[in-house]
Chain A
Amino acid sequence: MNTKQAYKIIDAGWAKKRAGYRIQFQRKVDGEIVTDYFPDLDEGPWLSEVAIWRMAWRLAESRQSDPPDVNHGDLINVTVVDLEGSPIKYYAINQLEVFNQMSL
């Protein structure tokens, strides 16, 4: 095994470089709860984990729901996902975090 092959294994198995981040949230549209993303899926993702979590918190704080009701404009289950849509751990607590969490 040469150096290149060794690093290939390391890059695939340990501390994978992330490609970007999106905020995933849910809201009520025409009476239905839909999942949406920020930035939109046709736009480029954010590359800063710190900035995207801060943005998620701001969004959640701005449009809080009044459980158990979800009103028009409320943003619930706000979290940060990678480009595959998998939730990522909030770096500040090293755990998955969902703002305005509500089970539907």
Chain B
Amino acid sequence: MEGLAASIEQMEKTMTTYGREIVIAFAVIVVGLILIKWINIGLKKAFSKLPISSARGATIRNVLCVLMLAVLVTFAAIELGIAAGPVMRFLSILTLTAIGMIVVFRPLIPTLPFKVGTTIKAGDLLGKVEATTVLNTRLRTFDGKTVFIPNRIILNDVIINYHFTPTRRFELKINILYDQDLMKAKQILETIMVEDPRVHPTPRPIVYLMSLNKGFVELSGRGWADNLKRFVVTRELLEKTKFRFDQEGIAMALPQMQVHYTSKNMPQLNTEG
């Protein structure tokens, strides 16, 4: 009981001596935090109108918030009667230590091989990364599903990141019958690729004869297009190829097999009704 009374007395003394400063410092902290929150919201709105990525905008806002927080703590400490020098020194040491830790340990920290907004393929899932947290990655597939993938699976699996390179090769696989005009087919396929404005001029589109032993002549037209346009470009070029082959009288082939009978194994045809 005496201990409690002593504590209360001590608190009274402290409040009498430093009460005003404590209240002001507390008010500075509260008002400062509210201001920082408002500024953060304002910056978020402003950044959304600027041509910078949301991830970079978030980084800049976080850095600014930390700096504003440091200034706020310094102000509050000064109001509390603590000399500004030691507070600044303490904050400087804290900042330098944090930066040092990040620089030293960053290479050792496993990082995800993509950023928010990147199109990736993780396992059988193809989609756009919407968000990443410490535990999982939120992926939006192109058919509208939202998939949460645990990061441990991503770190242990093969990931295709479609944003590392801006362009990608596409392939038009066309099969024609053996008796068709091969050179004409190659010329048509190459012309269709060269004419399209979305197909890059370099590396130049090229047509290969891939094989002759599958029951048809297998052609492969290859060119390069922007990653984001590749899917549509491939499909539209296939459509144009179909029409042009029809117009030029080049018969396309289905996968087929020729079976040769000898007189010994010739099947008996049932010619009766």
How many interface residues does chain A have, given as a range? 10 to 19
Contacts of A104 in B (CB 8 A): none
Determine whether the beta carbon of B243 is less than 8 Å from that of A19: no
Cα distance, A93 to B240, chains bound together (Å): 10
Q: Which of A1-54 contact B (CB under 8 A)?
A: 7, 11, 14-20, 47-51
Chain A residue, CB-CB nearest to B200: A17
- Interface: A86 (CB within 8 A): no
Q: A50 touches which one: B190, B204, B240, B244 (CB < 8 A)?
A: B240
Also in contact, A17 and B196, with CB within 8 A (given A11-B201, A49-B236, A50-B236): yes
Chain A residue, CB-CB nearest to B194: A15
Determine whether the beta carbon of A48 is less than 8 Å from that of B239: no
Q: Please name the 9 residue pairs, one residue from A and one from B, whose CB atoms are nearest each other, closest first.
A: A50-B236, A15-B194, A15-B191, A47-B197, A94-B247, A91-B240, A92-B243, A47-B198, A18-B197
How many interface residues does chain B have, given as a range? 10 to 19
A82-104 interface code vs B (CB 8 A; 1 in, 0 out):
00000000011110000000000
Cα distance, A49 to B192, chains bound together (Å): 11
Binding site for B on A (CB under 8 A): 7, 11, 14-20, 47-51, 91-94
Also in contact, A93 and B247, with CB within 8 A (given A50-B239, A51-B236): yes
Determine whether the beta carbon of A49 is less than 8 Å from that of B240: yes
Beyond A14-B191, A47-B197, 13 additional pairs, beta carbon < 8 A: A15-B194, A16-B195, A17-B199, A17-B201, A18-B196, A20-B197, A47-B198, A48-B236, A50-B239, A91-B243, A93-B243, A93-B247, A94-B247
- Interface: B232 (CB within 8 A): yes
Contacts of A47 in B (CB 8 A): 197-198
Chain A residue, CB-CB nearest to B190: A15
